[in-house]
């Protein structure tokens, strides 16, 4: 999926070759063995098969803070897999990692990711101008975040 220009158009990096992806996976596995860990990757698979269709990531940054990232194979867009994976990752981050804040930097044209962020209770914080250089151009990012108390309030019954 990160070799697909359709998918990476909305990410903060260009498409990668199979060999580059193999190196990235190897490096992520090595980082997962470090103590303390600096990131947590979750594999996203189809419910009926053990087939990888995406990933979700929390990159730890600052004190009790993390940056959210994720990608879903284009053929699986619109099926709710990203929403479900992010919800699971946020539960993990707030309940097991004791995070206070999770942020997401989303490309302005990525209406689906903006909708997911809003649906899950993220709040818009502002625009980061020329935030990433990808696909031969600078791109702004819209910054969204959610705090632990907001997540817990959202998950609590009324």
CB 44 within 8 A of CB 81: yes
Please write the tens of the pLDDT for every residue from 41-66: 888 898 788 888 888 999 999 899 99
Q: How much is the pTM?
A: 0.83
Give me the helix-helix angle, 81-95 and 148-155, nearest 10°: 120
The pLDDT of residue 158? 45
The domain tally of the chain equals 1
The pLDDT of residue 68? 96
Q: Give the residue from 96, 26, 107 showing the smallest Cα distance to 60.
A: 96
Q: Which two tokens stand for residue 22?
A: 């193999």
**Predicted confidence (pLDDT) at residue 155 exceeds the cutoff of 50:** yes
The pLDDT of residue 51? 83
Name the band, by pLDDT with cuts 50, 70 and 90, for residue 32: confident
Q: Which two tokens stand for residue 37?
A: 């860990």
The pLDDT of residue 118? 97
Chain centroid offset of residue 145 CA = 12
Burial of residue 111, with CB atoms counted within 10 A of its CB: 0-12 exposed, 13-18 middle, 19 or more buried: exposed
Please write the tens of the pLDDT for every residue from 95-142: 999 999 999 999 998 999 999 999 999 999 999 999 988 777 898 999
153 vs 105, which has greater pLDDT?
105
Averaged pLDDT, 3-11 = 55
- How many Å apart are CA 158 and CA 150, to the nearest integer? 14
Average pLDDT, the chain: 85
CB 67 within 8 A of CB 104: yes
152 vs 122, which has greater pLDDT?
122
Which domain CATH number covers 41? Answer: 3.40.630.30
Q: What are phi and psi of 124, to 5 degrees?
A: -70, 130
Q: Helix H segments across 34-99?
A: 81-95
**Which residues constitute the domain of residue 60?**
5-155
């Amino acid at each position: 999926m990160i070799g697909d220009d359709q998918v990476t158009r909305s990410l903060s990096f260009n498409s990668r070759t199979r060999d580059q992806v193999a190196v990235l996976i190897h490096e992520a596995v090595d980082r997962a063995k470090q103590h303390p860990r600096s990131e947590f990757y979750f594999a996203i698979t189809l419910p009926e098969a053990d087939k990888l269709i995406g990933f979700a990531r929390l990159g730890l940054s600052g004190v009790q803070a993390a940056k959210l990232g994720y990608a879903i194979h284009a053929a699986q867009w619109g099926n709710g897999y990203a929403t479900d994976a992010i919800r699971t990752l946020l539960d993990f981050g707030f309940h097991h990692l004791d995070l206070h804040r999770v942020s997401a930097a989303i490309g302005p044209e990525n209406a689906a990711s903006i909708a997911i962020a809003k649906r899950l209770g993220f709040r818009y914080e502002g625009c980061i101008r020329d935030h990433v250089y990808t696909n031969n151009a600078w791109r702004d990012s819209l910054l969204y975040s959610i705090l632990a108390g907001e997540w817990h309030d959202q998950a609590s019954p009324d």
